[in-house]
Every structure is written in C-alpha cells, then in structure tokens.
Amino acid sequence: MQSLSLDQNSASLYLLCGEEPLLLRDWLDSARESLKQAGFEDIQSHTTDTGFDWEDLLNEISAPSLFANKKCRIIRIPNGKPGSKGSKVIQALCENSPDDTIFIFVVPKLDRPTKNSSWAKCLQRTGKIVELKPVYPDQLADWIFQRARQKSLSISLESASFLAERTEGNLLAADQELEKLSIRFSGEKEPAFDVIEESVAQSARYNNFVLVDACLAGNAPRAMKVLNSLIAEGYVTTQLLWALQSSLQQMSCLKQAQLGGRINQRLWQDLRIWSSKQRLFETALARLGLEQIERLLQSCATLDRIGKGQQDAEFPQAEWLQMKSLVGQFCGIMPTESLILD
C-alpha cells in the first residue's frame, strides 16, 4: 500500500481514494505517525458536512502565525463532491499551497466524474493521488492470514478462509475477530481450527451463517428461530440471501458431482467447504435432489429482484413469507409447514 512520503520532493497535497473504512483508517494512522515524526504538531481532521466552511479553511491557512508549526489538514469529503466553493479552494491551494502545510483530501472512490473534475485534475497535476484498492473476495483469506501475522497471531489458511467466510468480506469485522484472537493466542503456537471456530461462534450473535448451518442440518425450528431473530434485528432479505444463495450454489455443484459419482476432496477444496462443514453439506445432499436445489436457487433470484425493487411483491409482507418458505424448503419441509413453524 502506497504510504505518505515526506522527503524533499514530496507533495503537499494528496487525494486519498478508498471505500473500505479499515484501509482508510490504516493509511491515515500511518500518515499521522509519519507526520509527527517529521515535526508536524498541528494535525486536524474535518468533514465537509453542513457545518463545514471551505472559506474558513482557506482563511485559517492564510493567516499569519506567531509559531512556525508545521500543519496537516485532513479533509473528508464523504460524497466525493466538494461543491463549487470547495472546488475553487482546492484549485487555489494547488496554485499556491503554503510550504509548511500538507493537505489530504479523502474521497470514497476515484470514479470518472471525479477524475474529470477541475479540482481533481489540479490535484493530479500538482499533488499525489493515492488509490486504496479493495480486498476482493478471492484475496480475503490471504489478507486475513497476513493481517494475523502483523498481530503476532499464527493461524492456518483454513482458519483464515473460515474467518473470511464468517465476516462476509467486511474487513473491519475480520480485523475485530483477529484482534480478539490475538489477545487470547498471541505469541502461542497455531491454535487448532476448531478452537478458532468455537471462539468466533461464542462472540457472534445470530447471523447469516448460523441460519445457513440450520438449513443445511435440516433443523427447521432452529432455522425459523434464527430467521425471526434476524428480522427483529432489522435485517432485510437481500442481506440474508447472499449466504443462502452461496450455499445453494455449492450444493448444486456437489449434487451434480454426486450424480456423476465424482465427489472428491479436491472438489470440497475448490468450493471452499472445509472439513468442519462437510458433514452438514452431506446431510443436506441426502435430503435434497438437484431439481429441488435449482428451484430454491430460482426462489433466491426472485427474492433478490424483489429486494432490489426490480420486481413487485404480490402483497405487503409477501417478501418475508417467501423468505420463510425458502428457508423451510431448504430444511426439507413443505411451504405450508414453514408457516406453521413460524
């Protein structure tokens, strides 16, 4: 990750782009440390909300000071648009930036409209662009593995993949789990996979994966209890569908392989289904046929369109009734029975 450079040829204006809160936090924490070591004593952060005035920033920087303190101003622009006044101030700073001040402008992403804006073009010419690339799903397990090492925590790739699955690509959540594990296991030999699994389970409330596990096991009463709890917590169908749909897609691949007589360890690994979960999938495979699995995937697609507003629900609450029916059928019971269990 590109860090803040403070050599003689370093820029005084930075445009920091990133949508992942943890990566932004890490970069800015590292930048603050570098700035303090370089003698920057006055470091302030501002957010361009309704109470922020760009003119005040310009006036404050332009005002003479009795002390020759080096300054840094971190300006967060949550919507990525500084507005006409902000654009003028940024361009003015590009043309005449104080020697003793560093500016870091933070935006969510460097999309085409942002890149083509007059203020961003000025920053590209006279400053430095730092773009924090997201950690993609297929990179997450490796990212967690390396992050654990930074915390003096030794874990296996299987454990890292498990944590990646449990945190659904949420880097902050993954980092919090690693922090808790590092407090317990830091400096010790590599904890066993089942110990990490138990530790994570103890710290978790009901979530998508608890729901999926109940569905795979065919435990309809527990699945409905978990689903109702998630509804009460304010979850929407699209939040729950990802894990259900993902597990059903894995089921479809396994079922097709089973029908062809070729389920082997390599397939489990390719589908990222670790040994601790294989028995649950085997239970579900014995209960559901390929046609049933495909129908459940079609139900997921319908619910996804409804949740995204691409298709109308038949009546109020129909979306949740369909979700309960989906969960019930995943568990192996008839649609009408799922409503009785509710």
pLDDT the model gives residue 203: 55
* SS3 at position 84: helix
pLDDT the model gives residue 124: 92
Distance (Å, whole) CA 105 – CA 82: 10
Which DSSP symbol is given to 190?
P
Cite the beta strand spans of 21-114 per DSSP E.
40-47, 70-76, 101-107
Distance (Å, whole) CA 34 – CA 135: 24
Local confidence band at 337 (pLDDT 50, 70, 90 cut-offs): low
Q: How buried is 220 (Cβ within 10 angstroms: 0-12 exposed, 13-18 middle, 19+ buried)?
A: buried
Which DSSP symbol is given to 189?
S
Half-sphere exposure of 232 (CA within 13 A, CB side): 8
The phi, psi pair for 312, rounded to 5°, reads -80, 140
Check pLDDT > 90 for residue 165. Answer: no
Joined tokens for residue 201: 């389970």
Joined tokens for residue 321: 């009734």
8 A C-beta contact, residue 275 and residue 281: no
pLDDT the model gives residue 249: 94
Q: Which domains does the chain have, with CATH numbers?
A: 13-131 (3.40.50.300), 137-203 (1.10.8.60), 208-341 (1.20.272.10)
Query: How do beta strands 101-107 and 70-76 pair?
Result: parallel
Check pLDDT > 70 for residue 186. Answer: yes
8 A C-beta contact, residue 42 and residue 72: yes
Sign of torsion over alpha carbons 23, 24, 29, 32: positive
Contacts of 194 (CB under 8 A, 6+ apart): 276
Percent of the chain with pLDDT over 70: 89
**pLDDT for 255-272, tens place per residue?**
999 998 888 888 888 888
Return the higher-pLDDT residue of 178 and 188. Answer: 178
Contacts of 342 (CB under 8 A, 6+ apart): 224, 228, 324
Predicted structure pTM score: 0.62
Whole-number Cα distances in Å, 127 to 216, 217, 274: 54, 56, 47
- Mean pLDDT score of the chain, rounded to an integer? 85
Check pLDDT > 80 for residue 7. Answer: no
Distance (Å, whole) CA 49 – CA 21: 18
Which DSSP symbol is given to 49?
S
Residue indicated by tokens 């501002």:
46
The phi, psi pair for 233, rounded to 5°, reads -80, -5
Across 173-177, 206-210, 336-340, the highest mean pLDDT is recorded for 173-177
pLDDT the model gives residue 169: 66
Q: Which of 224, 184, 222 is nearest to 200 (CA)?
A: 184
**pLDDT for 111-131, tens place per residue?**
888 889 999 999 999 999 999
* SS3 at position 262: coil
pLDDT the model gives residue 270: 85
The answer to which of 35-39, 58-62, 103-107, 322-326 has the lowest mean pLDDT is 58-62
Joined tokens for residue 110: 């460097």
What is the per-residue DSSP string for 292-328? HHHHHHHHHHHHHHHHTTSS--SSTTHHHHHHHHHHH
Give the Cβ contact number of residue 262 at 10 Å. 10
**pLDDT for 43-94, tens place per residue?**
999 999 877 899 888 887 776 665 657 889 999 998 899 999 999 999 999 9
Joined tokens for residue 323: 């979700």
Sign of torsion over alpha carbons 89, 95, 99, 105: positive
pLDDT the model gives residue 329: 94
Give the Cβ contact number of residue 254 at 10 Å. 22
**pLDDT for 216-240, tens place per residue?**
999 999 899 889 888 877 887 888 8
